[in-house]
Structure 1
Amino acid sequence: MARHPVQWLFGLIPALIVLAVYASALVVLAFQVDDLAGWVTPFADGWSEAARTSARVVAGIAIYGAAVFLAILTFTAVTLLIGDPFYEAIAVRVEESQGGAPPDPGDPLLVQIGRAVRDTVILATIALLFAAVFFACGFLPVVGQTVVPVVAACVSGYFLAGELTSVALERRGLRRRDRFALLKRNRPLAVGFGAATFVVFLIPLGAVLAMPGAVAGGTLLARERLAPDAEAAREDIGVAGQT
């Protein structure tokens, strides 16, 4: 992306739109987190002031941490959804620079939009379930503030890799279930790429500035490391024959 600054600026537009919405929601949450912490810890009402305050600080950190986890995990899916033409163009440009892009599957636009919305809703539901688990684990002494964030980064990384490789893998005929089956066969690779991206996204404005490069990286990952397995997966599910 550094060699194609126009493409990079082009890819910032949808990310900036989603950032504005997400940042507003997180700011509102920050002002409400004390009340929410009190609401989820009614059992601490009769405790001493120090113990009650400690419990609600931990609860507040867990609530906000779960919200940030959910935001980062869904940020990519939502940005890809509203910025599909932008990131499709970047992915094709990357593929062509490496020897050529597979042909467009030719699905009608409404079908593509419906599929993208469905995948985003499914991912958001899964993210909510994981966020609830990490929220609960955040109350564990020491472990909740050390091990849990690392596990959350790895889980987020796995799903981020699935989203960032989706453009290139869909051009190869793989849908959501088949894409994640492919990533499961290459889990360490997917987690490594995705967790590194997750850490970059934690940096203020990192998700916006790095989004075009993340899509380019996901495209290269799919092309160079997953493509052979993708072809095998297509044969397994009969997609090659259908397309």
Structure 2
Amino acid sequence: MPGNPVTGAGALLRGFGLILRPGLRRYVIVPLAINIALFGAGIWYAFSWLEALSAWVQGYLPGWLDWLTWLLWPLFIISALLLVFYGFSLLANLVAAPFNGLLAERVELLLTGRTAADGGGWRKALAEFLPMLANELRKLLYMAAWSLPFLLLFVIPVINLAAPFLWLAFSAWMLALEYTDYPMGNHGIGFRDLRRRLRRQRLLSLGFGGAVLAGTVIPLVNLVVMPAAVAGATALWVEKYSKEGE
């Protein structure tokens, strides 16, 4: 079954509520601090990039095509924001991976009363820092391999008009993979099985990833979207994806 995209998007909203629970707040502090620091840098970089991009476009086009700048400018803004904020979101997850895994563990405990069979806790999170870092790099390599065909679409005339929307769908998929990996990784589920489970409920996954992507470009919301996405992804694992292996 492809799943329901509305249910997927709603999981992010549920995640915002979960991270406010008294028992989870202390597990949110470190991911939240990392996200605020990196998104602050991302916002500064995005405006710098847009300014440089504007100068490049105006210098590249001949004078008689100046009107085309106004037509393409919204597409450039959307593309730049998606590339920058998505990139900084992945960087934030790379740094915060062990803490996100611990947060997913505590959310699952809150929702079900149980967690992964091997226990967990801060000691386990720190002990698994290097394996989790390697796993994050594996996801980045996967993203890079699939990004190239999508990015090439931006330079193909006519097709480049659809490129931002295709990139939007790809980014939503990658963010769904990124965040559901935390609860699934706590149960020893590998990246291949993770992708299989998400593909079997593709619309559910894209709905969740799309909501996370939207949250990354909304001011203030993007500062807290990472821990909320971890919590929401854990709720989806408990209620949807865990049943894919049964």
TM-score interval w.r.t. the shorter chain? 0.7 to 0.9
**Higher-Rg member (1/2):** 1
Q: Which residue of 1 aligns with 2:86?
A: 73
Fraction of identical pairs, as percent: 22
* Bigger relative contact order (CA 8 A; separation at least 6): 2
Alpha-carbon separation, structure 1, partners of 2:76 and 2:96? 29
Task: Find 1:200's aligned residue among 190, 204, 215.
Answer: 215
Could you say if the C-alpha distance between residues 149 and 220 of structure 1 is closer, same or farther in structure 2, counting changes exceeding 3 Å? same
State TM-score, norm by structure 1: 0.76
Q: Which residue of 2 aligns with 1:100?
A: 114
* Deviations 1:142-193 (CA, angstroms, capped at 9, x unpaired): x94xx76555443322221111101111122222232112211110110111
Could you say if the C-alpha distance between residues 150 and 62 of structure 1 is closer, same or farther in structure 2, counting changes exceeding 3 Å? closer
State TM-score, norm by structure 2: 0.75
Alpha-carbon separation, structure 1, partners of 2:98 and 2:39? 18
CA deviation after TM superposition for structure 1 residue 140, in Å? 4.8
What count of residue pairs does the alignment treat as equivalent?
A: 219
Q: Which residue of 2 aligns with 1:11?
A: 31
Which 5+ residue runs of structure 2 have no aligned equivalent?
1-18
RMSD: 2.9
Task: Find 1:172's aligned residue among 157, 165, 187.
Answer: 187
Alpha-carbon separation, structure 1, partners of 2:34 and 2:142? 21
Q: Which residue of 2 aligns with 1:2?
A: 20
Could you say if the C-alpha distance between residues 76 and 175 of structure 1 is closer, same or farther in structure 2, counting changes exceeding 3 Å? farther
Match of 2:226, SS? helix
Could you say if the C-alpha distance between residues 152 and 117 of structure 1 is closer, same or farther in structure 2, counting changes exceeding 3 Å? closer
Listed as ranges, the matches of 1:15-164 within 5 Å are: 15-38=35-58, 42=60, 44-45=61-62, 48=64, 52-97=65-110, 98-104=112-118, 109-127=129-147, 129-133=149-153, 135-136=154-155, 140=158, 144=161, 151-164=166-179
Which 5+ residue runs of structure 1 have no aligned equivalent?
233-243
Indicate the larger mover: 157-166 or 30-39.
Answer: 30-39
CA deviation after TM superposition for structure 1 residue 126, in Å? 3.0
Alpha-carbon separation, structure 2, partners of 1:156 and 1:63? 16
Alignment-mate amino acid for residue 91 of structure 2: V
Alignment-mate amino acid for residue 48 of structure 2: V
CA deviation after TM superposition for structure 1 residue 93, in Å? 0.9
* Deviations 1:4-42 (CA, angstroms, capped at 9, x unpaired): 344444431111122133222212112212222146xx4
